[in-house]
Amino acid sequence: MQGLENVTMRYAGNKTSGIIYLVSDYKDRGLILERISKYGGEITTLTDEQKAEIGEEIPDSMVVAKFDNSKNAYQYYNETDAKELHYNSDDYEIVELFSNQIGVYRYFREKNRSFVRPASIVLMIVSAFILAFTMAHLIASSTKTFVLYRSIGASKSQLLIIYFVYLMELCVRAAIFAICLGLVLAAIMTGVGWSYLLERLVEAYPNVPKFPPILLGINWQCFEVIVCMFLAAPVSFLLCLDQFSNKKIAQKLKGD
Amino acid sequence: MDIVQLRNIKKQYGEKVIFQDINLNIPAGFFTVLRGESGAGKSTLLNIIGGLEAPTSGEIIVDSKDVRQLSREERTNFYRHEIGIIFQGSYLQPQFTLLENITLPGVFAGMPEAERKQRAEQLAEMLGITENLNFLPKEVSGGQAERACIARALLLSPKIILADEPTSNLDEANAKTVLEILNYIRQQMGITIIIASHSRDVMEFATQIVEVANGAIKITASQNQVAQSAMPIQNQIAQQSAPAQNVATSQGVVSDNQGNL
């Protein structure tokens, strides 16, 4: 998802050389100026050529600002400071001109929030639990090693440390595997959707020089996956904590 | 002096009674063999002596300590300094070299690296595996792996060695060598050896044979056998008029005849 978002942003950014134009309308003009300044924007006037491209007149009550930093532009657009600055976000209108960077961003964000995010959270939790149970099972099945370490003088705390480190190692492997799997899936999606995506992007941004729609990208979800995999270690550790009791060790010894 | 005393030991799994009211004394320095059919309870008895398995009831006194009453710390020290265990099938950690496997108890016990390496090398020399110390377990023979297990069990100088079928996966020659080594250790270092085995070869080294069957035990070794088997190995060799510069086994030299490591 991040790769597609990146590609689209790149196309959108090209149209205006990366500059984002936002026109704002609110009853308090002073507040508009204050917010534009706060987010690093610059008040500007449109050239005749730009006005012609829009095809309609912009009233004087509205303020046109340009942002050369897309992150700041998104923050300005998203009106997350409504409480802080005491204004009603429903009455504060902002429209993006020329490019569609924020529109595309919002589109992906909404898609992400409504489908991808919940699905990924469920998948991450499920995979973390599968991993945790698998690791707990691995520990429970390493009978002889367990008994051997205890019988040659490993203390309980040494056993716990050994297995915790072992679990962490498994987690690192699982996280590397998850990242590699993500890369493979993104590569497959790039291969499958290459021509279709290119066609749609060129259609939406006709003046932009073509560049390949590679869908590989890194976002915070990658780190969430890694964190999730690592959280599986303490969970599995708790699941198999009873394996370290004398009674369980004796049972294992008997069952081996 | 009895180094191991089992008093009224009862062991059952659910409804199945394995032992009923077992009493056994094992004197220090003995070579005791627990004999019996598969499933008779030899390994269970060995595990009970080693504190790895708790009896349903009864007392286990090892070197004047009640094993069941040991605190967590005392139990760890018990495993470190009282007993050395040799598991069935030469169980070594496959990712470690023989040297690393042998020194593992020293790592857990906090023994300085140089000291544990020196001790491991001494034991390896005694057991004839010096050349194999840097090999992985899969790169050595079964007999060499078994000797590494013995060295590991000896690293922290325990008072008792417990061995569960130590010769079960070895050919006849290697099995004999391993048993000779264990007997040599008993005679020269005064370590009590307790073996669970159904092999007939073990019996010639035994000073005490404990038959395990039908939930009971029976001690069958005669005093003559005990006397002969307990005789220092140098004397036995002298009796056979063999030159004894070194104590030799069928697989090679294990040490000088003074028992020096």
Tell me if A39 sits within 8 A of A72, measured CB to CB.
yes
Number of other residues whose CB lies within 10 A of the CB of residue B222:
9
Do residue A243 and residue A120 come from a single domain?
A: yes
Contact residues, chain A, for B152 at CB < 8 Å: 152
Facing residue for A253 by CB, picked from B47, B91, B109: B47
ipTM for the complex?
0.75
Q: Is A178 helix (H, G, I), strand (E, B) or coil?
A: helix
Q: Give B76 to chain A, closest Cα distance, Å.
A: 5
Taking CB atoms and an 8 Å limit, are A254 and B44 in contact across chains?
A: yes
pLDDT band at residue B260 using 50, 70 and 90 as cut-offs: very low
Facing residue for A151 by CB, picked from B52, B72, B109: B52
Distances (CA, A) of B211 to B42, B88, B154, B221: 9, 19, 27, 10
Q: Residue B214: inside a domain, yes or no?
A: yes
How many structural domains is chain B composed of? Answer: 1
Dump the DSSP string for A187-243: HHHHHHHHHHHHHHHHHHSTTSPP---------HHHHHHHHHHHHHHHHHHHHTGGG
Contact residues, chain A, for B74 at CB < 8 Å: none
Please tell me which residue, A128 or B10, carries the higher pLDDT value: B10
Q: How far apart, in whole angstroms, are the C-alpha atoms of residue B149 and residue B89?
A: 10
Tell me if A31 sits within 8 A of A87, measured CB to CB.
yes
Q: If residue A251 lies in a helix (H) or strand (E), which one and from where to where?
A: helix A246-255
Do residue A140 and residue A92 come from a single domain?
A: no
pLDDT band at residue A244 using 50, 70 and 90 as cut-offs: low
How many structural domains is chain A composed of? Answer: 2
Q: How far apart, in whole angstroms, are the C-alpha atoms of residue B101 and residue B88?
A: 16
Q: Is B67 helix (H, G, I), strand (E, B) or coil?
A: helix
pLDDT for residue B38: 82
Domain of residue B37 covers 30-41+76-256
Prediction pTM value = 0.65
Do residue A82 and residue A133 come from a single domain?
A: no
Q: Residue A167: inside a domain, yes or no?
A: yes
Q: What is the CATH number of the domain that holds B111?
A: 3.40.50.300
Domain of residue A41 covers 19-98
- Counting one residue from chain A and one from chain B, the pairs whose CB atoms sit within 8 A come to 60
Tell me the pLDDT tens digit for each residue of A177-200: 888 888 888 888 788 877 877 777
Tell me if A20 sits within 8 A of A102, measured CB to CB.
yes
Question: Of how many residues is chain A composed?
Answer: 256
What is the mean predicted confidence (pLDDT) over A240-249? 67
Taking CB atoms and an 8 Å limit, are B72 and A247 in contact across chains?
A: no
Number of other residues whose CB lies within 10 A of the CB of residue A75:
17
Do residue A133 and residue A233 come from a single domain?
A: yes
Taking CB atoms and an 8 Å limit, are A154 and B73 in contact across chains?
A: no
Shortest CA distance to A254 belongs to which of B189, B238, B11, B70?
B11
pLDDT for residue B160: 94
Facing residue for A154 by CB, picked from B13, B53, B108: B108
